Amino acid sequence: MIVLHRLGHTAEPFHLNPDLIQTVEATPDTVVTLTTGAKIVVAETPDEVADAVHAWRVSVLESALRRRRGGRAQSVAPTPLR
């Protein structure tokens, strides 16, 4: 899960499953459209949302590689998505 903040409620973070994200647009506020059709306006920029999704996916892959290699931690260099 990634942590985001609804616009105007920055003191109240919420967790979002990044697999539900369909699009992220700046209109000029950042609007996250989910695969369910729901739209969420967030305080983060589209780049910050993309970076959070990227970091989450890297952590998932690192965890899978650690388990596959018998618990040995090996770092995977993140590849830019852009």
Interval 55-65: pLDDT, tens:
999 999 999 99
Q: What are phi and psi of 68, to 5 degrees?
A: -65, -35
Q: Is the pLDDT of residue 11 over 60?
A: yes
What is the arithmetic mean of pLDDT over 43-49? 97
Kindly indicate the confidence band of residue 27, based on its pLDDT and cuts at 50, 70 and 90: very high
Q: Is the pLDDT of residue 21 over 80?
A: yes
The DSSP bridge partners found for residue 23 are 33
Kindly indicate the confidence band of residue 82, based on its pLDDT and cuts at 50, 70 and 90: very low
Length reported for the chain: 82
Residue 44 DSSP SS3: coil
Q: How far apart are CA 65 and CA 73, in angstroms?
A: 8
Domain ranges of the chain: 1-38
